[in-house]
Amino acid sequence: MKKIIFKTPHALASAFAKQLVNLTSDKEVIHVALSGGSTPKLLFEILATTHKNNDWSRIRFYWGDERCVSPCDSQSNYLMAKKLFFNPANIASEHIFRMLGENDPKQEVERYGDLLYKLLPIVNDLPCFDLVYLGMGEDGHTASIFPHEIELMNHSEVCAVATHPVSGQKRVTLTGPIINNARSIVFLITGKAKYPLIKSILKDQHDFENFPAAHIQPTHGHLTWYLDEAAYEGG
């Protein structure tokens, strides 16, 4: 596990954007699962401006989770990526594999899981992403694996229906085994609000059993925490 600390969210997002660009010159086809939430916004803006002319044609885009809403809904993780990155960078639609938030959640879990088995290389009997990019909520959730459904970290299927603990909103999420089967897992975490969890997970290394993010442990790949100083030092 590697930790990289950055002075600002912009420096963090710029560094990860460069990592993504470096991936594109790596091999024929690269399978990347994107995060939702607000942190990706800065990353997408940097990708769509600084790296607008990068050749993105080798990357296939997926999601770690999606809200069960229409792709036109402001809460859609796909819509955020489409507006801030895919459209300005002219990413080919055939390279984008969104979770269909408008579908029945249980049917979409089955459809997306089948898609991953069909499109991704299989390692350890599971679809293997080249890169899974994750965020972490203030309750320690990641993707849409929330503390009250932490059993999804060991779920038998690669996708599951999750429920937001406050709003009750249904989500489609990748589960722990497929996330941990990735070649590279990267957390992008910024802001003072995340400091208490980061302190528990990465510094004190106790009292984190209930945080799903703390159970992200690659089985054969690499885990990197990209953190800004506010999240790592509470400053």
- The correct pick among 9, 64, 113, 212 for binding ligand 6PG (CB under 6 A) is 64
Q: Smallest distance, Å, CB 100 to ligand 6PG?
A: 15
Contacts 24+ apart (CB under 8 A), 15-23: 15/226, 16/43, 16/133, 16/186, 16/188, 16/226, 17/43, 17/46, 17/47, 17/50, 17/51, 19/186, 20/47, 20/51, 20/59, 20/131, 21/51, 21/54, 23/59, 23/130, 23/131
Nearer to ligand 6PG, 26 or 35 (CB): 35
Residues 6, 42, 142, 180: which binds ligand 6PG (CB under 6 A)?
Answer: 142
For residues 64, 77, 47, 186, the Cα torsion angle rounded to the nearest 10 degrees is: -30
Determine which residue in the list 20, 32, 39, 127 makes contact with ligand 6PG, applying CB under 6 A: 39
Residue where the block lists tokens 């972490």:
136
On whether the CB atoms of residues 73 and 101 are closer than 8 A, the answer is yes
Structure tokens at 47: 């990708």
Among 12, 31, 37, 81, binds ligand 6PG (CB under 6 A): 37
Contacts of 87 (CB under 8 A, 6+ apart): none
* Span of 10-18, 49-57, 93-101, 136-144 interacting with ligand 6PG by CB under 6 A: 136-144
**List 8, 25, 38, 210, residue binding ligand 6PG (CB under 6 A):** 38
Question: How near is the Cβ of 85 to ligand 6PG at its closest, in Å?
Answer: 15
Interface with ligand 6PG (CB under 6 A), residue from 65, 108, 130, 229 = 65
Span 96-135, contacts to ligand 6PG by CB under 6 A: 135
Closer of 39 and 180 to ligand 6PG (Cβ): 39
Q: Cβ-count burial of 50 within 10 angstroms (0-12 exposed, 13-18 middle, 19+ buried)?
A: middle
- The C-alpha angle with vertex 63 and arms to 58 and 68, in degrees rounded to 5, equals 145
Q: How many residues bind ligand 6PG (CB under 6 A)?
A: 15
Contact call for residue 137 and ligand 6PG (CB under 6 A): yes
Is residue 176 close enough to count as binding ligand 6PG by CB under 6 A? no
Residues at the interface with ligand 6PG (CB under 6 A): 35-39, 64-65, 77, 135-137, 141-144
